[in-house]
Structure formats: structure tokens, C-alpha cells
Amino acid sequence: MIVLTGATGGIGAALALRLASRGEHLVLTARDHDRLEQLAGQVHAAGGTASVHPCDMRDQEAVTDLVRQVLAEGVPDAVVVLAGHSIRRRLAASFGRPHDLVRLAGTNMLGPATLILGLLEPMCARGSGRVVAVTSAATRIPTPGWAAYAATKSGLDTWLRALRPEAAARGVGMSIVEMPLVATAMAAPTYGASPRGAMTPDQGAAMVLRGLNSRRTLVSPPWVRAGAVLSQAAPTTAARLAGVGGDVAARLLRRDRPARPAGRGRA
Ligand SMILES: NC(=O)c1ccc[n+]([C@@H]2O[C@H](COP(=O)([O-])OP(=O)(O)OC[C@H]3O[C@@H](n4cnc5c(N)ncnc54)[C@H](OP(=O)(O)O)[C@@H]3O)[C@@H](O)[C@H]2O)c1
């Protein structure tokens, strides 16, 4: 039995179908009940079984309830945390908006941590299991505009890294997947529907599967690891590069450029 948060998202749904083809039983969660039911139907058609549990990760009581509902089905073999929310906002637009951090912390850190903690206890008692958390390349390469998103993903990452040795001693492995750009609904507002160089949702799902199926503690592209080393070894240079690089990258990656307002186009 595998618990999947963010199951109805681009990467989550692709992962659910890959796991279904192995005949797994999936506990699917996200907020939208209809989309969960629809996905459960696809999981059944693909050879798996599924139960659906709508839950808003920002609601701590609802997450605690979700833990109870999952444990009523059994102690999971694995928990995959994919639920996520991103906001891209530069500094000038962030003034007066501390609630962005609160919203993102609920979805990206506090809700997932509450769920993991609730399920980790019986998994540790049993002496086996796996936790896979999908964070972001943005946690290793801090980029203007993504401050609140990267901070909340980093919070979950740091929390899991510190728990990991003790969980491993109790038989539960943990893997962090530092996801690069994937062409899903989350990426679309910034980079368009099919950004240059983005992975497909299925390729994203394959990355998550590497964390689930192996004993790897980190699944991360080489360029993200290199960025992490540069950020630590040369933080001033890294900050300067990030300052100019973020906007340039957003322009280069976006294939379907937004139309220019009338009268501002070049002849
Ligand atoms: N796409 C990328 O380029 C990219 C890059 C780096 C990391 N990631 C990470 O990869 C993961 C999957 O992203 P994706 O690209 O598949 O995004 P997506 O298509 O936007 O899916 C997001 C999923 O999270 C669920 N969700 C959002 N807010 C929630 C909340 N408050 N409570 C419970 N569930 C919530 C959504 O379902 P409901 O709306 O029904 O709740 C949906 O199932 C995320 O953690 C994301 O941060 C993505």
C-alpha cells in the first residue's frame, strides 16, 4: 500500500498509473474529490486498486484525520509526498504579503510533515517502509521570485534530512527528489504549457520511482548538485548569477511567449 499526496497533479497522476501497472494498492489524496475519483478509475483500469481521501494539506486537523483514515486501511509500505503549491513573486510584489509564506508552508511543509510523522510511527514500529518527498531544484539554487516556495520546500527537506538517520535505524528509508522543471499545471503560469527543456510528467514520475524503488537518499540532476556546491563554495558569485539568471531562464524556457500589449510590439 502506497500513500500518494498530490495524486491528481501532472506528476502524481503519471506516477499513480505507473504504480497501478505493478498492481499496487494506492491511497490517493489531494483536495479535488471528483479528480481523485476519476484517477481511481484509471488506476483500476491499469491493474491497481485505490482508495480516495480528499484532504487540504493546509488544514492540520484534516491531515490528522487523513492519518487515521490511512491507518484504518493498514500501515503503508511507502508514503510519497507530491502535493505542492508554488507562487512566483519578486521582492517588490512580496511586501505586505507574509501570508504567501503561511499558505505555502501549509501545503509544502507543515501538512506533509504532519502526515509523514503520523505514518512514520507505525512504520518504524513495524521496522520497514519508505518516505519519498518531492522538493525542487529551487531549494539548491535559490532564485529570485521563488523565495517563499523554495523556503517551504527547503523546510521539509531539512526536517527529513535530520530525521533520516534515526528513521533508517528503525528500518524506514527516506529519499528526497529534487525535481527540475516539468511541464505541468504548476509550471504553466511562468513557463507556458510546454517549456523548453522541461521533463514530461511521466519523466518526472520516473524520477520519483527511482527514489521509491532504490535505497537512494537523494535523486537530483547533476546540474542541481553542481548548483548546490557553487552556492556553498562561492555564495556571493552564486547570488549574483541567480540575480541575473532567473529572469533570463524564464524568458528562454518559455516557448509560447505572451502576446505584447497593443502598440508595444516591434515593427
Ligand atoms: N512542475 C514542476 O516544474 C515542478 C518543479 C519542481 C518541483 N515540483 C514539485 O512536484 C510536485 C508535483 O507537482 P506537479 O508539477 O505535478 O504540480 P500540479 O500538477 O500543480 O499538482 C499539484 C498537486 O498538489 C495538489 N495540491 C495542491 N495544493 C494542495 C493542498 N493545499 N492540499 C492538498 N493537495 C494539494 C493538487 O491537487 P488539488 O488542487 O486537487 O488539491 C495536485 O494534485 C510538487 O510538490 C511540486 O512542488 C514541480
- Residue 215 in any domain: the answer is yes
Whether 123 maps to a domain, the answer reads: yes
Residue 13 lies in a domain: yes
Spatial contact of 207 and 17, defined as CB atoms under 8 Å apart: no
For the Cβ of 10 lying below 6 angstroms from any atom of ligand 1, the answer is yes
DSSP 21-76: TTT-EEEEE-S-HHHHHHHHHHHHHTT-EEEE----TT-HHHHHHHHHHHHHH---
How many domains are there within the chain?
Answer: 1
CA distance 27 to 16: 10
Ligand 1 atom with minimal separation from the 35 CA:
40
Q: Is 227 within 8 Å of 192 (Cβ atoms)?
A: no
Residue 48 is assigned to a structural domain of this protein: yes
Q: Residue 114 has which C-alpha cell?
A: 504532519
- Asked, for residue 22, whether it belongs to a domain, the answer is yes
Contacts of 60 (CB under 8 A, 6+ apart): 110, 111, 114
Cell triple for 213: 524503488
> What is the 237 CA–ligand 1 centroid distance (Å)?
31
Q: 264 lies in a domain?
A: no
CA dist., res. 34 & res. 174, Å (int): 31
How far is it, in rounded angstroms, from Cα 88 to Cα 80? Answer: 24
- Please indicate, yes or no, if residue 267 is contained in any of the structural domains: no
> Can you give the residue range of the structural domain that contains 53?
2-253
Is the distance from the beta carbon of residue 12 to the nearest atom of ligand 1 less than 6 Å?
yes
pLDDT in 10s for each residue of the chain, 267 residues:
999 999 999 999 999 999 999 999 999 999 999 999 999 999 999 999 999 999 999 999 999 999 999 999 999 999 999 999 999 999 999 999 999 999 999 999 999 999 999 999 999 999 999 999 999 999 998 888 999 999 999 999 999 999 999 999 999 999 999 999 999 999 999 888 888 889 999 999 999 999 999 999 999 999 999 999 998 999 888 888 887 776 777 777 777 665 444 433 332
- Pocket flag, ligand 1, residue 78 (CB < 6 Å): no
Amino acid type, 96? G
Would you state the pLDDT for residue 264? 38
Q: Are 213 and 114 in contact (CB under 8 A)?
A: no
| Beta carbon of 219 within 6 Å of any ligand 1 atom | no
In a domain, 266, yes or no: no
Identify the active-site residue in 149, 155, 212, 220: 149
The pLDDT value recorded for residue 238 is: 84
Would you state the pLDDT for residue 9?
98
> Is 149 a residue of the active site?
yes
The CATH number covering residue 37 comes to 3.40.50.720
